[in-house]
Chain A
Amino acid sequence: MFNFLSLIFRYIFIMMIYLFIFGIMRMIYLDISSMKAIIGNHPYLKLINRKDQLPFKVKEVYVLDKETTIGRKNGNEIVIKDPYISNDHVKFYVKEEGVFIEDIDSANGTCLNEERIIDMVMLRNGDRIKIGQVEFLYVDY
């Protein structure tokens, strides 16, 4: 009886363990692909600095919505606790014609490709935006 059961169960066991591994891998895969799905068809900012060289929290990717503000104050859509960033620092507008960036009278200014911006400027794919100590890459969808 036991011998018979054991001979059958060996296949079942192995099948189940592999299904388990498959299940875990699938969950991990879904996790990773859902992160991409969030970005989807939106323009986003990608961090250029190495994360561990900045002494404050900052994410790798920020998705830009219709109007997105960056600042140190907690009310902003994107909050970065960099002391060089003003309370309300910069604002992004996503419009039909394209994506625009505007500095909202920040103390240290915003640089677009090493040049300080004054007015509202339209962004192009691959632009480098420097805010305080943080540098972002603008990526079109």
Chain B
Amino acid sequence: MMKKFLMNKMPQTLLVFVNILSMFLLYFYKERFDKSILISVILLVATIYISNYILLKISSGDHYLFLVVSMLSSIGIIMIYRLNPVYGFRQIIWFGVGIVFYFIFYFCVKRIKGWKKWLNGYFIISMILFVVTQVLGTKIKGATNWIRIGGIGIQPSEIIKIIFVFYLASYYTNYTKKANEKYKFLGVVYSYIAFLFIQRDLGTAMIFCFVFFIILYIYEEDRKLIYYQIIGGLIIGIVSSFLIHHVQVRFIAWFNPWEYIEKEGYQITQSLFAIGAGGFFGTGIGLGHPEFIPEVHTDFIFSAICEEMGIFGGIAVIMLFLILVYRGFKIALNQYDKFFKIVAIGITTTLGFQAFIIVGGVIKMIPLTGVTLPFVSYGGSSLVASFAALGILQVASEEIQMEQEEGDGYNS
């Protein structure tokens, strides 16, 4: 009995332990004895446990995804709370909202049939969102990708990411071999990327590009087209690194940040210092100085984790993402319905590349572009959109009831 409990419930139990321990720790943080932490962690644990229980009851699909993601979110919340308790508390609320959206998307996508038919609908909705962002958007840190509605800032590109995946999936499910259809499709995809470029949201543009290449590589029958796209993308990347100032700065800060340490390279060098200061086991939560890095609670959360939980903590985060991506591909391989197969691949690659771009960025492996680390970084839109995407992935992990088209066109 005990053994069975340990084996089957071990991840859930550990998750609860991590949260309770962190509550215990943060309660003593800076000798403030903050009462709100008790309530918030109890809420957090209850939310994770109850939603996990509900999920086991209602979903026949994959049950690891949610656990992995709750662990990632827990690590994120602990770190954000330690950096700024106000943000931490807000992040817990966003986590709750995210789970609500997770279930909403899960039920909507499952119940409503005909997602594969609304090719033009996806295009129109996302273009409206882009135009609204362009007109009403406020400029924050060089990127025009926020709109404010009633005091809450929303980042429409997070929603467009999901719609984009649906667009690609819907195109390849209804694929007919007409030439002008293909050019229209390419035009639409590049208009997405062009809009993101105009809004200076380079990280998201990169994610869109990668996801597009992956889906193209898997489903496009005209192989030459793929190589043209990749070569074209590379040329645009290289040219813009010389001509566009915004991109140029990133490349300068990437090649040699030490030379520009007081300006362009400040953020990245601070991040490297933080990772270096951590060592194997970290300085211990609350004992490091990750607050020296600008934007540490959003884009640079990974450096903060590396500093205070050590490189082992950082590797653990990467491993959790690996499991997530592995499960995502497994889901895509097992899915029978073509539309949901492509959606599963699209969502998995979106999450995976997003994690890769920002983790690679903060450790100076690739040029830094500001995207959030999914599920970990502070930010309502990002967390809610990631949970919504996870809900869709959960639907894709189940067997989809097909509309059986019996006896049309065949003999018998």
Contact = CB atoms under 8 A, between A and B. Distances in A.
Contacts of B28: 1-2, 5
A7 B28 CA distance: 13
Interface string A9-50: 111111011111101111110000000000000000000000
Given A6-B284, A11-B281, A20 B11 contact: yes
B406 interface: yes
Given A14-B310, A16-B17, A24 B281 contact: no
A27 B11 contact: yes
Given A7-B284, A14-B310, A24 B316 contact: no
B67 to A, nearest CB: 6
A2 B30 contact: yes
B409 to A, nearest CB: 9
Contacts of A1: 28, 31
A13 B287 CA distance: 15
B21 A13 contact: yes
A10 B284 CA distance: 5
Nearest to A31: B64
A5 B25 contact: yes
Interface in B299-333: 308-310, 312-313, 316, 319-320, 323, 327
A61 interface: no
In this complex, the member of B14, B281, B283, B323 whose beta carbon has the largest number of chain A beta carbons within 10 angstroms is B14
A114 B230 CA distance: 43
A18 B280 CA distance: 14
Interface string A97-133: 0000000000110000000000000000000000000
B18 A6 contact: no
Contacts of A18: 312, 316
Contacts of B286: 2, 6
Given A9-B21, A57-B336, A84 B285 contact: no
Nearest to B399: A57
A24 B412 contact: no
A96 interface: no
Contacts of A24: 11, 64, 67-68, 323
Interface residues of A, number: 35
B367 interface: no
A134 B409 CA distance: 18
A76 B68 CA distance: 40
B18 A17 contact: yes
A25 B332 CA distance: 19
A17 B313 contact: yes
B323 A14 contact: no
B26 to A, nearest CB: 9
Contact of A16 (B14, B310, B341): B14
A83 B313 CA distance: 55
Contacts of A91: none
A5 B319 CA distance: 26
Given A18-B316, A81-B406, A83-B410, A9 B285 contact: yes
B404 interface: yes
Contacts of A27: 8, 11, 64
B412 A23 contact: no
Contact of B25 (A6, A23, A81): A6
B71 A107 contact: no
A44 B336 CA distance: 21
A33 to B, nearest CB: 14
A51 B29 CA distance: 56
B407 interface: yes
In this complex, the member of B11, B21, B281, B323 whose beta carbon has the largest number of chain A beta carbons within 10 angstroms is B11
Contacts of A26: 7
10 contacts: A6-B284, A6-B287, A9-B25, A10-B285, A13-B21, A13-B309, A21-B320, A51-B336, A81-B406, A83-B411
Given A2-B25, A7-B287, A14-B310, 6 more contacts: A14-B313, A17-B18, A19-B10, A21-B316, A52-B338, A83-B406
Interface of B: 7-8, 10-11, 14-15, 17-18, 21-22, 24-25, 28-31, 64, 67-68, 71, 75, 281-287, 308-310, 312-313, 316, 319-320, 323, 327, 336, 338, 341, 402, 404-407, 410-412
For the complex of A and B, the 9 pairs showing the least CB-CB separation, nearest first, are A83-B410, A6-B284, A23-B10, A23-B11, A2-B28, A10-B284, A17-B316, A20-B14, A83-B412
